[in-house]
Structure 1
Amino acid sequence: MKLSSLSLYTKVRLIVFSFVLMTIGFSFIFIDFLYQELYIQNVEDMLIDEGERISAIYQSGPITEEFKEKINFHNSVSESEVMLIDNPRELSACLPFEIGHDSLIGEEERRTLLSGEMLLKTGYEERFNRTITGVVLPLLDNQTLHGVIYLYLPLEPIEEVFTYSTPILIGSGGLFFIIIFFIVDRMTERLLTPIEKMIQFSRNVSKGDFSKRVPIETKDEVGKLAEAFNQMSESLHLHDQHRRDFLANVAHELRTPLTYIKGYSHALKENIFKSKEEANQYSELIDRETDRMKRLVTDLLDLAQLEEMKEVINKQPFVFSQLIEDTIERFIPILNERSMTLKKQLNDEIIFFGDYERMMQVVYNLIENAIRYSDDGSSIHVQLTLENKNIFINIIDYGMGMSEEDVKHIGERFFRADKARSRTTGGTGLGLAIVKQIIQLHEGELKVFSELGKGTTFTVVLPYEEM
């Protein structure tokens, strides 16, 4: 099985257990190091120290019987084997193990002893089935080697050195492994369970189910990932709901004009009318509904471009009061027709850096909205002021007003405070949604204050930069 095909849960376990095994292996290597470097070195140091104390008894001249007795006595009380050899060339015959050659001390080593230096010798003893280490110290007088003192001690095998500690090591190692296994298993489960749930929920999301949420149990990266996943699911859910609502609204908005067009065109085709005036009326209704569908499609495309920011905002400096004046000029005919007055209070010194055409669209839609929801003969106020490095545009009407619930939905697609009246006047319910998007692209804010029966105030707040 390939490593890439294993689950993340299995991979984490394998990695941790590999480290545990490496740690155990390193422990045994370290124990062997202690044996080689500390235990053997300690034996050699002990033999050297003991040999130097014994050789210090020797004064000079040939080996005496008295000196031999002292060596024999020391051998009887010492942990190591101590031998005195008169003829160094016959040392190998006196040793309790085979060394594989005729003489233990070769010519080069004999010269070493003649120089007053000691020798460290190690050999294998079959009888004891273990290695023996020893030290050879010269007995010199006037550069004459009268004999040597040989001390040796069997080395304990590493198994015997740690006879008492091995059960402890095995027991503690097993306990350590069980504890590590339990900790790793719990940590891996806590770490990867949210990820497994995210994988499962992702499949649900791909099928259109946005209801599942990953429980957030930690504040680490996995917890933040789960939080981000939940936010993404919520966002997708809202987006999907908006898409469904949008399609339902579009279908609803198109169904009415299409019904009118189909019905009146059928009446004209089948000559189902009483007079020419009635036929002309049908034709005008068809034209009106066609224009309404055209505005609806245009507004939909405009809103889609603004929301997806596909259209680049072309910013340039302009005098804001002039933009408002030019926009108001377009409403003079309808204002006169409905006997309405428009009062303005404009700061002519405000120069704004933004998209002229888009900001004119904002002002136009807000004034149009104010006219649509005002009674004939009423007035509208337009104000342009500068306060605290912010530009304020107030469009005030004294018409029907809106409830608090309606105010909350201002800027949503197809929302109308008075659906019957706005449909009659030809509104698409997208104008304020477009206004809101344009203002946001200029890093501004749209505020609404309204009271039923008293009117509505739309306030556009834009950041001001001195030119």
Structure 2
Amino acid sequence: MKKRLDIKSLKFKLWKYFVLFAATIMIILWLLQIVFLNTYYKSMKANEIKKIGDNLVLEYGNDNFEDTIYKISFSRGIIIQILNNDGIPIFPMNVFGENRPPRIDPMAMEMFIDKLVNDEQGKTLYTTEDPRLRRPTIVYGAILKEKNGENLYLYINGLLDPVDSTTSVLKNQLIIVTIISLILAIGLSFIIATKISRPITQVTEAASVLAKGDYNVIFEKGDYTEIDNLVATLNYTTIELSKTEELRRDLIANVSHDLRTPLTLIKSYAEMIRDISGNNPEKRQSHVNVIIEESDRLTGLVNDILDLSKMQSGLSQIDYIEFDIVKTTKDILKRFLILTERDGFTFELNCDDEIKVFGDEKKIEQVIYNLLSNAVNFTGVNKLVYIDIKNLGDYVQFEVKDTGKGIPKEELNHIWDRYYMVGKSHKRAVIGTGLGLSIVKSILIAHDSNFGVDSSINQGTTFWFQLKTK
């Protein structure tokens, strides 16, 4: 199917602008060469004669003044004379074999003298019709003061050559030049517009493929730096979108796993209560406890998802106060006593008795709890977790270290992602929901805090963050 002409396309607009530009240039050329040529010629001729006249006025009285008049007259093709009050030429004395040049027409002389007398600077420049030649001429005049008080007059007369024949020749040439220029402009502008718009069209087509969910598309570079920068950005975007899509699939799979497990347990133990242990208080209590624990786990997962969503959407307010981070940590550790008593976990706290920091106490409490939960889930068989709180003057550094297998360097930057698991293996956490580190990252970014992770294979992992003390 033949494509319709898109008048809003870049290709069409570039082509149109190039053609309009060429047409504008040709219109200006026509105006300058045909319409304004005669006016321009008269102006140039008048300026030329005026310049000659002004220079002669300055040179009047020099010994070689008459030679200068001869040279200029022959080289420029103009009449230069010095007249007395009667209009009789007294300079030059001999022109073309005559003793004196012919006397100026009395009426012309009267008009000439009248214009000079009425001019404040004693100079005049005007265009008139020569009665003898019946052609327009430019007349320049200036009053020359003599020592005896007598006035002499510099008279310059230059013919205005007709430019009609020149205009006719130019017109014929311009017609040919205009036709050739417009044809070339249309052709070349189409080629240039096509070349410029082609990489943009290719990028658009590739973007359409990307919009359909194909993240394997590659944006190809063009011949222009701007297009190359755009292509590089889009290729980077494609890679990031591909990672996001992979993360989304993992998130759905992992959340589904974390939802399915407690729901299955809740249903199973509820059925057991109904069918088996309903009349046995001890068994019933045990089964009810499992249901409560799994319900709490589901509640925690939903709350973590909501907290993460709030933090990443900027809806959560940070309320800065001064608080004792040591006391906050000790209060949090009390919530892990059940793990100490039941599962043998050990939490070793190293810090001063009191360390004040500035931050949102509730949210920093969530950060510490999540880091401890993460350490519990990944510490070694000795079930030992270290907590170090270091007062470094202007800020406090909080560290949580486990004794687990460690994290490969290439995966350190990904552990803050939601549900990212080292080695991509998702397992049921001892405590927490798998969203803890994402929540930690969001809260610390909101606090404008420095944070990071250090890890060595088979030597454990240390998570740290810093808070200001002032």
Per the shorter chain, which TM-score range? Answer: 0.5 to 0.7
Quick one: distance in 2 between partners of 1:360 and 1:282?
A: 32
Deviation of 1:304 after TM superposition, in Å, equals 1.4
Q: Which has the higher contact order (CA 8 A, sep 6+)?
A: 2
Give the Cα separation in 1 of the matches to 2:343 and 2:374: 14
The partner residue of 1:444 within 435, 450, 459 is 450
Distance 1:331 1:419, change over 3 A: farther
Measure the CA separation in 1 of the matches of 2:110 and 2:255. Answer: 111
Change (3 A) 1:314 1:193: farther
Listed one character per residue, the Cα deviations across residues 9-35 of structure 1 (whole Å, up to 9, x for unaligned) are: 322333333233222222333331543
SS in 1 for 2:433: coil
Asked whether the 8 Å contact 1:324–1:360 carries over to 2, the reply is yes
Question: In 1, Cα distance between the equivalents of 2:425 and 2:16?
Answer: 69
Query: 16, 19, 25: which is aligned to 1:17?
Result: 19
- For the residue of structure 2 that corresponds to 1:335, the secondary structure is helix
Range moving further from structure 2, 411-420 or 254-263: 411-420
Distance 1:5 1:373 in 2: 63
2:139 maps to 1:132: no
CA distance in 2, matches of 1:430, 1:346: 28
Match of 1:412 in 2: 417
- Give distance in 2, aligned partners of 1:274 and 1:59: 144
Q: Name the CA distance, whole Å, in 2 between partners of 1:316 and 1:460.
A: 21
Cα RMSD (Å) of the superposition?
Answer: 5.0
Note closer, same or farther for the CA distance 1:120–1:303 as it changes in structure 2 (3 Å cut).
closer
Equivalent AA in structure 1 for residue 462 of structure 2: F
AA of the residue aligned to 1:462: Q
Q: Specify the alignment match of 1:26 in structure 2.
A: 28
Distance 1:113 1:342, change over 3 A: closer
Which residues of structure 1 form unaligned runs of 5+? Answer: 61-69, 75-81, 89-104, 125-130, 138-150
Cα distance in 1 between the residues matched to 2:225 and 2:425: 53
Counterpart AA for 1:445 = F
**Structure 1 segment 186-225 matched on structure 2, within 5 A:** 187-217=192-222, 220-225=225-230
Amino acid at match of 1:11: K
Shift in CA distance, 37/223, structure 1 to aligned 2, threshold 3 Å = farther
Q: Does 1:299 align with 2:299?
A: no
Q: Where does 1:262-281 land on structure 2 (aligned, <5 Å)? A: 262-269=267-274, 271=275, 276=280, 280-281=285-286
Whole-angstrom CA distance in 1 between matches of 2:21 and 2:424: 70
Identity across the alignment (%): 22
* CA distance in 2 between partners of 1:59 and 1:258 (Å): 125
The one-letter amino acid of 1:380's match is: V
Q: How does 1:13-412 map to 2 (within 5 A)?
A: 13-31=15-33, 32=37, 33-38=39-44, 50-53=78-81, 111-112=110-111, 120-122=127-129, 132-134=135-137, 155-160=161-166, 163=169, 184-185=189-190, 187-217=192-222, 220-269=225-274, 271=275, 276=280, 280-348=285-353, 350-374=355-379, 378-387=383-392, 391-398=396-403, 400-404=404-408, 409-412=414-417
Partner residue, 1:128:
none
Q: How many residues align?
A: 409
Alpha-carbon distance in structure 2 between the residues aligned to 1:420 and 1:240? 18
1:354, 1:120 → 2: CA distance? 91
Q: For residue 363 of structure 1, report the CA deviation from its aligned partner.
A: 1.6
CA contact (8 A) 2:389 2:396 kept: yes
Q: Give the secondary structure class of the aligned counterpart of 2:417.
A: coil
> In structure 1, what is the Cα distance between the partners aligned to 2:115 and 2:46?
24
Aligned to 1:78: none
Cα shift readout 1:36-82 (whole Å, capped 9, x = no counterpart): 433687799979975555989x997xxxxxxxxx99998xxxxxxx9
What SS class does the counterpart of residue 447 from structure 1 fall into?
strand
- TM score, norm. by length of structure 1: 0.67
Question: Once the 2 structures are TM-superposed, how far is the Cα of residue 447 of structure 1 from its aligned partner?
Answer: 0.2
Letter aligned with residue 356 of structure 2: I
Q: Is the 8 A contact 2:128 2:138 kept in 1?
A: yes
Shift of 1:426: 5.0
Structure 2 unaligned segments of length 5 or more: list them.
Answer: 1-5, 53-72, 89-93, 117-123, 141-156
Query: 3-state DSSP class of the match of 2:434?
Result: coil
1:369 and 1:115 mapped to 2: Cα distance? 110
Q: Which residue identity does 2:359 align to in structure 1?
A: G
With the length of structure 2 as denominator, give the TM-score of the two structures: 0.67
